[in-house]
Amino acid sequence: MTKYDPLHTTLKKRTEPEIKLTFAEIERILQAPLLATARQRNQWWANETTPESRHVQCHAWRDVGYKAVPDLSRQTVIFKELYV
- Model pLDDT for residues 15-29, shown as the tens digit of each residue: 999 999 999 999 999
Q: What integer pLDDT is reported at residue 84 of this predicted model?
A: 61
| pLDDT at residue 1 is higher than 80 | no
Report the percent of the chain where pLDDT is more than 90.
85
- Sort 55 into a burial class: Cβ within 10 Å, 0-12 / 13-18 / 19+: middle
DSSP-derived 3-state class of residue 33: coil
Residue 70 phi/psi, 5-degree rounding, is -80, 155
